[in-house]
Structure 1
Amino acid sequence: MTLLSTTMDLIMLNHFTGHFTGPMAAVVKSEPLESDIYPEMEHCHSFSFSCPTHKITKEEITCTKPGTIWRALETNDTFKELNQMDRKTPKGKDIVIKSCKGYIVKHFPCWLIKEDDRLTIEMVTHATDEPAGVTDQETDNYVTFSVETTGGKNSKSKQILGNKQLESYGPLCVYAKQKDEVKKALRNDGRFSNIVFEQKCQLSERSSGSKVSMGQIAKKLNGRNFEMCLTKQKEKMAIKMETSESTIKTKNIITTQTSLFNPSPDSEGDGTQMPPSTLTTETSDVGESSSRRKQKRKCIPVPKHGEILTILRNQFDDLVKQMESRREYSQQKIFPEELDLMKQEFGKIRQKFSEVHRVKKLIELGASVCQVIVEGVQGVQGTGFVLFDNYILTNAHLFGENVRENLQLLVDVSVKFNYENPNGADVNVFRAKTLLIDFQYGHQGKYYIDYAILEMDPQNKKQQKKVPPGLLREYGPVPACGGACLIGHPGGLVKQMEPTSIIGSEIREEAANKYKREKGHAIFTINDALEKQKKRYEEVMQENKDDFVTYNTSFFHGSSGSPVFDELGRVFGIHTGGFEYEDKRTQSKQSVLEYALPLLTILRNFVIRLEEDNNQAVLKRVKEEAQKNLFLFDALFKTNGDEPMDMS
């Protein structure tokens, strides 16, 4: 009994301590550790995603295995359905993913996503194929940095992305191993075009302007924001090549002219001078036989050509004097005092628009300005602003032929408010209804019209409250001169504002001529561009010059539809277009002149359309809003006799 009790005591003791010895150890099993059941629990983090276009507000995901963000997202059933749904759409849409750092690729390492970060899922047409990244093993040897989707210095006109549709989805968040070169990181990313790697590009930090070459390692790039730019050496080489080509052409012309007007002494007066046509033909006969060249040298002599040449030479000095006098006269005509005064006034205008009270008011009014996104149409973006209630005014040319005769849109359109932060914080997106309220594009009588009015479709009362106030009540007449300010989204970028100076109709043509003289290196390119827009250029300059407001601005593509404000913060026009050209020396888009359409002309046509369509509900709202601006109400609905205006 003593031996048995001793053995039982030993077993009980070993049971409580968890250690077994002897023969009983083979029979009794210990409890498995938690790490044995969930070996991947060392990697565990949570994040969520939303998709506003499909009304998905928040879906949480707990990732327990290192890999790509795409693999982590596909563990969620809602995301699987969303992905499957968009694969079936005929428009070829694909998914893009936005994090707090910027837009990321599908093979982005999941462990680089911050804890409790919320991803936003958006749709883009024909997304670029991305190489699969090797991200199955979690390490801390990675860095992330962001790159803007449009080029910086010397490369603004370059398409740095393989898919142009992605230009409005920026900045791009790029990941890299610390020891990887920048070039390798960008190649692995898969969204950049070949021009980034074939030309001498480098990264330029937006905050400090410091440059990072493609051969540098990515170790110190973590958290920094860059834009792509061409190196100065590349720019100089391009200019040198262009200059050398023009020099060669000039030498050829001079040589030809010298041979024509300075004949050899042997040929002068003997009737054997070779005519220009013969000379031109002969220079191209390099590979022909000598007998054929001799035949071509035979020409019909010009009677008394020596005497004619002497007379022309004697008249040459007088001709030069006459041309010089014409040049001096044209310069006096081209540069009137008004242009010099306007140049002086521009400095005062910039000072006015830098006053705090004006800036505050413009920022407040700018809340009603939005980005207009035409989905499914490559490269089409614009700007618009709230006219009143849920109605947005923008340019009609953004939609082009994608509008039926019954004003039905053939494409999806959305508007984006508060796009002021590159990270996209606090952005409000509204879908537009497919039926336009008004659409007028082209000539209406003697006026050129280019506007469309959309109606937003808020999904609920909460979203309705986020609609900014309309600018119809802020209307003002077109100033004859002075300052103006544009607010819009040039290049599809964040909201910007730019002061400018109005160029009066009486000096408009002189201002354009002065610009062309200052840009002498690109005069042929400018003339070619103006020739393509000859009809519109003549309208703006001469025929209907009072129907346009002109100025100079850097607001190009993406800014069509921007409101134009005067010095008092009143909106008087809608920025519509300009006479652009490609400057090969600076490799950038430039413009001779830009123009806006007067808002009053648009509103008058809009009222006529509402009356013709008997749209009393909207017409009533226009009158109610116009009554808050007596000048506008009188211009639209009253004459001196208090009778309705005849606007036919």
Structure 2
Amino acid sequence: ETEEQNKRVHHGRAISSHCPCSLIKDECLTVSYVKTKTVDKQKQIGSNGSVRPRRKASSCELVMFHVLTIGGKNVMKILRTPALKAIVQEITVYAYKGEKVKQALKRDGRFQKTIFNKNCALSHTGTHVTTEMSNLVDHLDGKTYRIILLNKANPPESLPGSLDDSVKNKFPKQEPNLNGNTAPEEVIREIPHSFKCVVKGKKTVSKLSRVQNLLRVEYGQNVQMCTEVKTMKKLMDLSNSVCHVRIKGSPVGSGFLLFDKFVLTNGHVIKDIYNDNRQLDVEITVHFSYESLDPMEKGQESGVVEVEEVAGFEYCPDVSGHMYDWALLRLSADQKLPDGLLKHFGFLPQGGGVCIIGHPYGGVKKIDPCVIIPPDNRNQVVEKSYHENQGPIHLVTRQFFEGVAEYVQRNSEVLTYQSCFYHGSSGSPVFDKYCRVVAMHSGGFTYPDARGDMKSVIEFGYRLSDTIEHIIVQLVERGSLDVLKAYLACSYPHHQDMMNDRDLFFFCNNSI
């Protein structure tokens, strides 16, 4: 049995019949009629007699976002009225600030139950950034999304505390609670100590997933810190000092000119061809201008410089277990070199955005803006990767993820983030939002997914301040006074702080 139902069209998008008038000011609406299944309105009536729960709210508390009428793969049919797709390509949903996506879509009334029973999310049509059902709607205003299926797992539960809880109280529903009276803050404190419990039981998994959803929103907002035009312009200039490291012509890693004619890269990049007498067994070259695959492009070979010797090298942990992984290469520079990045040195930030510049997979020079993962949030990232890789066939073992979790918690002094820079990018400089070099990109934990594509759980970089300290100490111990003088001749804003904090001035002055 069917009945005709009117649909209001606003700016080419269908709006619901209960859309607040405050969102439509002095504008014309087109009213169309489509066939729809008869709905038992008694099922929709709440205890107060209204068809849908409503709350008093001023227009400033409202947001409007748009959803494509066709969903993504495996969840294409999302509307209760399929005929609506013949009239419009998008529908407009209104919501109250502080409300979750799931509650807004449910109140709208035009979506099938399928999207709430499956682990669906909103995917931005331009950036493809996902917003899960348990995220807040505050940042969705004016944007367009497609409903997609994240995976075939059950959807994560929501944290209490958003504005829609007041509505739920009027319409009682059996909802799982957050482990009795446990507050969200207590759950966050539990996470670093409970990863092994997470991978053993689903109850803990759902509890932690809710915290991850909140953190994902925060990450999405912070990533904008490294994408301002003025920042990118400055980074483009600084990228001239980043180089491609090759052994006998084959790419092995990345690096950057630190000061004078000395390039810094990771020790593991050259460890197989370096011997104890600091001599190189084979030829190493660095390429500052490898930015195009076209060998005929102007300037491609102008930045090729041979490495004369290894001025310093360390690839081992210290007595406390902290790993040091660096190599200082002296160039036999017969040509003009770019500026050293030591003058742009900075200490490690606590959070926000960073940018990595290097040669991932041995390819052309690239830049990757990403977000710092603070030590307290590292386990959530590992857990998220573990849950996303649960399926009928386990390509990656539980022990792998437990090992990653243990490493990132034990090595709290490293900088962690998520990046697409994998093999071949070791030695790349990591810049903070002020374009200061704060770390050297050094590694990550990669694994193949079900399709054979390479994925990574988390990546890390060693603090540049720690590396510089060990460089200075080793130069003094080896008696490499010419290199030490070249370093001291390079003035940079934090030079005084760096030397005083570690008593390096006294150490150097007694050696020169």
Looking at structure 2, the residues matched to 351 and 423 of structure 1 have their Cα atoms a distance apart, in angstroms, of 32
- Counterpart pick for 1:497 among 363, 367, 373: 367
Matching of residue 403 in structure 1 with residue 274 in structure 2 = yes
What CA RMSD, in Å, does the superposition of the two structures yield over aligned residues?
Answer: 3.0
- Counterpart pick for 2:408 among 541, 559, 578: 541
Per the alignment, residue 364 of structure 1 pairs with: 237
Matching of residue 512 in structure 1 with residue 391 in structure 2 = no
Per the alignment, residue 565 of structure 1 pairs with: 431
Matching of residue 445 in structure 1 with residue 311 in structure 2 = no
| Cα contact 1:639–1:645 (8 A) shared by 2 | no
Following superposition of structure 1 onto structure 2, how do residues 246-257 of structure 1 map, counting pairs within 5 Å? none
Looking at structure 1, the residues matched to 259 and 387 of structure 2 have their Cα atoms a distance apart, in angstroms, of 44
Looking at structure 2, the residues matched to 344 and 600 of structure 1 have their Cα atoms a distance apart, in angstroms, of 31
Aligned CA distance change for structure 1 residues 598 and 638 (closer, same or farther; 3 Å) = closer
Moved over 6 A (4+): none
Deviation (angstroms), 1:600:
0.8
Looking at structure 1, the residues matched to 277 and 303 of structure 2 have their Cα atoms a distance apart, in angstroms, of 26
Per the alignment, residue 553 of structure 1 pairs with: 419
Look up the SS of the partner of 1:607 in the other structure: helix
Looking at structure 2, the residues matched to 527 and 324 of structure 1 have their Cα atoms a distance apart, in angstroms, of 11
Following superposition of structure 1 onto structure 2, how do residues 284-433 of structure 1 map, counting pairs within 5 Å? 327-332=202-207, 334-335=208-209, 337=211, 339-375=212-248, 380-424=251-295, 425=297, 426-427=299-300, 428-433=302-307
Per the alignment, residue 131 of structure 2 pairs with: none
Deviation (angstroms), 1:594:
0.8
| Cα contact 1:516–1:523 (8 A) shared by 2 | no
- Counterpart pick for 2:345 among 475, 490, 511: 475
- The structure with the greater share of residues assigned to strand is 2
Looking at structure 1, the residues matched to 199 and 285 of structure 2 have their Cα atoms a distance apart, in angstroms, of 58
Aligned residues: 309
Matching of residue 634 in structure 1 with residue 509 in structure 2 = no
Aligned partner letter, 1:499: P
Q: Percent identity?
A: 31
Per the alignment, residue 526 of structure 1 pairs with: 396
Once the two structures are superposed, residues 25-45 of structure 1 have per-residue CA deviations (whole angstroms, 9 ceiling, x without a partner) of xxxxxxxxxxxxxxxxxxxxx
Following superposition of structure 1 onto structure 2, how do residues 13-92 of structure 1 map, counting pairs within 5 Å? none
Aligned CA distance change for structure 1 residues 606 and 492 (closer, same or farther; 3 Å) = same
| Cα contact 1:373–1:415 (8 A) shared by 2 | yes
Aligned CA distance change for structure 1 residues 642 and 395 (closer, same or farther; 3 Å) = closer
TM-score scaled by structure 2? 0.56
Matching of residue 581 in structure 1 with residue 455 in structure 2 = no
Aligned CA distance change for structure 1 residues 476 and 494 (closer, same or farther; 3 Å) = same
| Cα contact 1:529–1:580 (8 A) shared by 2 | no
Per the alignment, residue 436 of structure 1 pairs with: 310
Aligned partner letter, 1:366: S
Per chain length, whose mean CA-contact separation is higher, i.e. which structure has more relative contact order (CA < 8 Å, sep 6+)?
Answer: 2
Aligned CA distance change for structure 1 residues 326 and 494 (closer, same or farther; 3 Å) = closer
| Cα contact 1:373–1:414 (8 A) shared by 2 | yes
Look up the SS of the partner of 1:602 in the other structure: helix
Once the two structures are superposed, residues 208-252 of structure 1 have per-residue CA deviations (whole angstroms, 9 ceiling, x without a partner) of xxxxxxxxxxxxxxxxxxxxxxxxxxxxxxxxxxxxxxxxxxxxx
Aligned CA distance change for structure 1 residues 421 and 547 (closer, same or farther; 3 Å) = same
Greater radius of gyration (CA): 1
Deviation (angstroms), 1:619:
1.3
Look up the SS of the partner of 2:326 in the other structure: strand
Stretches of structure 1 that go unaligned for 5 or more consecutive residues are 1-322
Deviation (angstroms), 1:598:
0.7
| Cα contact 2:378–2:409 (8 A) shared by 1 | no
Look up the SS of the partner of 2:395 in the other structure: helix
- The structure with the greater share of residues assigned to helix is 1
Aligned CA distance change for structure 1 residues 539 and 368 (closer, same or farther; 3 Å) = farther
Aligned CA distance change for structure 1 residues 641 and 400 (closer, same or farther; 3 Å) = closer
Looking at structure 1, the residues matched to 358 and 216 of structure 2 have their Cα atoms a distance apart, in angstroms, of 24
Aligned partner letter, 2:328: I
Aligned partner letter, 1:492: G
Deviation (angstroms), 1:330:
4.4
| Cα contact 1:402–1:410 (8 A) shared by 2 | yes
| Cα contact 1:430–1:458 (8 A) shared by 2 | no
Deviation (angstroms), 1:530:
2.5
Aligned CA distance change for structure 1 residues 530 and 326 (closer, same or farther; 3 Å) = closer
Deviation (angstroms), 1:430:
3.2
TM-score scaled by structure 1? 0.44
Deviation (angstroms), 1:613:
1.4
Once the two structures are superposed, residues 123-166 of structure 1 have per-residue CA deviations (whole angstroms, 9 ceiling, x without a partner) of xxxxxxxxxxxxxxxxxxxxxxxxxxxxxxxxxxxxxxxxxxxx
Aligned partner letter, 1:540: Y
Looking at structure 2, the residues matched to 325 and 448 of structure 1 have their Cα atoms a distance apart, in angstroms, of 31
Aligned CA distance change for structure 1 residues 639 and 363 (closer, same or farther; 3 Å) = same
Following superposition of structure 1 onto structure 2, how do residues 132-151 of structure 1 map, counting pairs within 5 Å? none
Per the alignment, residue 15 of structure 2 pairs with: none
Stretches of structure 2 that go unaligned for 5 or more consecutive residues are 1-197
Looking at structure 2, the residues matched to 353 and 433 of structure 1 have their Cα atoms a distance apart, in angstroms, of 32
